[in-house]
């Protein structure tokens, strides 16, 4: 016997050694994991890489541009003078062929600030695009809340059903004793057993719902979760009376406005003068710089070029007007967004007050239903009430308790959704 006891302890040792408390998941951590697991999360880094490539491309345009060009041609006739030139030979006999190859270098000395303006626009567009990703990821909070509160509701339902099952099983034992003494009917016991089977089926269904919701939440955050996962949710004391609006859309509107106004520098740069330098060197026959030389000869040429479009027929003024109008459109969109969110403050307060009233009413109803069930239970023991009366009242008590738990969860979810809508979570 002693050896068997030792073997039993050894066999159960690993179970006790590796048993761990249930997983705990904070609501804020759930949000962050859901965002990091979502494929769109990678888009922010890709946008940054694409912008950096574009910035490098713009910067390379300021470097000297070098090209190699070649051209050969043959023509049917050339310039001939109707008189003899006062040169040895009396006339100029130009060749009918032409060939030249050159290396050309161009360098922009001053572009009016065009390069810096383009880079500023690219950076502003990147900030707006990345913030748009943040806005899209923020929508995952509602999906996570749906899974979490679905799990909590099913658990409350299971707890209520288990309490009801325990009460029914105790009542069945009492009636079975009464049947043996000839006080109660066998049919009353069978009716209670049917109710037990029904509650067991509903409990199994609720457990299946929990497994499905946990699996969905696990896929959302990209981590395995146990079916007994615990959630850390902010309590009522963590929810201030007046919550400031901190939604990511506000930053998006600001970045969109900056992206629009960044084009002002482009408008100013397009009006300023441009200065550049060029160099050309090559060989040609005849020499393009000396038509008296028809042999294959080297040549070179360099200089500075200047351009200034000082009259644009008010094009810059029109462009600035468009920027101003687009900026005002963003301001209007932001004001509309803030008004829609702030308008929900009144609805939130009314919803909270209504749910608190319902919870108080549910508590009174549950207490009365429980008192009635005790009375019917005593009457059933005395043979005055039937098992059908008992089952009906038991279901009424379960529904009252479920309504109370449902409203409590709805109150908590309303508060958490409100914080998410305000951007505080």
Can you spell out the DSSP letters for 356-385? HHHHHHHHHHHHHHHHHHHHHHHHHHHTSS
| Torsion angle defined by CA atoms of residues 258, 261, 267 and 273, in that order, rounded to the nearest 10 degrees | -60
Of 119-123, 309-313, 411-415, the least confident: 309-313
pLDDT tens, residue by residue, 31-47: 999 999 999 999 999 99
Token digits for 253? 């509107």
Statement: 21-62+116-272+315-422 belongs to CATH 2.160.10.10: no
Total length of the chain: 425
Give the pLDDT band (50/70/90) at residue 418: confident
What per-residue confidence (pLDDT) applies to 8? 38
What's the confidence (pLDDT) of residue 84? 64
Instruction: Give which of 139, 155, 154 is closest to 220, Cα–Cα.
Output: 139
pLDDT in tens, 227-284: 989 998 887 665 665 678 888 999 999 999 999 988 888 888 888 898 999 999 999 9
Band of residue 148 on the pLDDT scale cut at 50, 70, 90: very high
Residue with token string 């913030």: 131
Give me 40's structure tokens: 């769109």
Alpha-carbon span 417 to 410, nearest angstrom: 10
Report d(CA 49, CA 39) in Å as an integer: 17
Indicate the angle between helix axes 263-271 and 315-342, nearest 10 degrees: 170
What percentage of the chain has pLDDT greater than the value 90? 38
Residue 238 is predicted with a pLDDT of 55
CA distance 407 to 410: 5
More confident residue, 92 or 272: 272
pLDDT of amino acid 265: 87
The whole-number pLDDT of residue 237 equals 63
Tell whether the model's pLDDT for residue 10 goes beyond 70.
Answer: no
Contacting residues for 414 by C-beta, under 8 A, at least 6 apart = 348, 351, 352, 355
Interval 378-394: pLDDT, tens: 888 777 788 888 888 88
Choose between 184 and 95: higher pLDDT.
95
Record the tokens describing residue 375, joined without a space.
């009375």
| Residues 114 and 269: beta-carbon distance below 8 Å | yes
Phi, psi for 97 (deg, rounded to 5): -110, 160
pLDDT surpasses 50 at 6 = no
Please choose, from the candidates 183, 190, 181, 163, the residue with its C-alpha nearest in 3D space to the C-alpha of residue 380. 183
Mean pLDDT of 5-14: 40
Burial label for 66, CB within 10 Å (0-12, 13-18, 19+), is exposed
Q: Confirm if 301 and 311 have CB atoms less than 8 A apart.
A: no
pTM of the model: 0.79
For the packed helices 248-261 and 315-342, what is the interaxial angle rounded to 10 degrees? 170
By CB atoms closer than 10 A (0-12, 13-18, 19+), residue 4 is exposed
Q: Which residues contact 286 (CB under 8 A, 6 or more apart)?
A: 94, 95, 98, 293, 294, 295, 297
Mean pLDDT of the chain: 85
Q: Would you list the domain boundaries of the chain?
A: 21-62+116-272+315-422, 64-110+274-307
User: Which of 141, 123, 134 is closest to 41 using CA atoms?
Assistant: 134
In tens, the pLDDT along 356-382 reads: 999 999 999 999 999 998 898 888 877
In this structure, what token pair is assigned to residue 345? 């403050």
Confidence of residue 3 (pLDDT cuts 50, 70, 90): very low
pLDDT of residue 35: 93
User: Does 123 have pLDDT greater than 90?
Assistant: yes
Average pLDDT for residues 2-6, to the nearest whole number? 40
Q: Which residue has the higher pLDDT, 16 or 303?
A: 303
Residues pairing with 232 in the sheet: 26
């Amino acid at each position: 016997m002693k050896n068997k006891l030792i073997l039993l302890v050894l066999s159960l040792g690993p179970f006790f050694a590796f048993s761990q408390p249930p997983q705990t998941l904070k609501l804020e951590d759930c949000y962050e994991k859901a965002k990091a697991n979502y494929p769109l999360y990678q888009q922010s880094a890709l946008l940054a890489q694409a912008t950096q490539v574009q910035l490098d491309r713009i910067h390379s345009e300021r470097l000297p541009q070098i090209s190699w060009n070649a051209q050969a041609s043959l023509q049917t006739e050339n310039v001939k003078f109707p008189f003899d030139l006062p040169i040895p030979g009396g006339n100029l006999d130009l060749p009918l062929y032409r060939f030249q190859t050159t290396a050309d270098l161009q360098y922009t000395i001053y572009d009016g600030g065009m390069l810096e303006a383009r880079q500023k626009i690219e950076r502003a567009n990147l900030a707006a695009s990345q913030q748009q990703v943040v806005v899209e990821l923020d929508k995952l909070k509602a999906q996570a809340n749906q899974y979490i509160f679905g799990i909590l509701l099913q658990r409350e339902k299971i707890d209520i059903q288990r309490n009801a099952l325990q009460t029914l099983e105790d009542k069945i034992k009492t009636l079975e004793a009464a049947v043996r003494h000839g006080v109660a009917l066998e049919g009353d016991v069978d009716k209670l057993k049917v109710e037990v089977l029904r509650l067991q089926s509903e409990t199994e269904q609720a457990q299946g719902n929990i497994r499905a919701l946990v699996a969905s939440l696990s896929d959302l955050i990209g981590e395995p979760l146990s079916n007994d996962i615990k959630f850390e949710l902010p309590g009522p004391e963590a929810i201030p009376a007046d919550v400031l609006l901190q939604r990511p859309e506000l930053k998006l509107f600001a970045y969109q406005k900056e992206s629009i106004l960044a084009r002002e520098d482009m408008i100013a740069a397009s009006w300023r003068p441009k200065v550049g330098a060029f160099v050309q060197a090559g060989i040609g026959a005849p020499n393009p710089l000396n038509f008296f030389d028809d042999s294959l000869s080297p040549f070179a040429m360099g200089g500075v070029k200047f351009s200034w479009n000082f009259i644009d027929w008010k094009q810059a003024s029109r462009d600035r007007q468009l920027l101003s109008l687009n900026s005002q459109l963003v301001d209007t969109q932001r004001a509309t967004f803030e008004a829609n969110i702030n308008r929900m403050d009144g609805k939130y307060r009314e919803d909270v007050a209504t749910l608190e009233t319902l919870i108080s009413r549910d508590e009174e109803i549950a207490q009365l239903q429980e008192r009635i069930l005790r009375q019917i239970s005593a009457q059933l023991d005395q043979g005055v009430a039937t098992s059908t009366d008992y089952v009906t009242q038991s279901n009424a008590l379960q529904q009252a308790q479920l309504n109370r738990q449902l409203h409590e969860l709805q109150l908590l979810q309303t508060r958490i959704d409100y914080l998410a809508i305000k951007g505080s979570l």
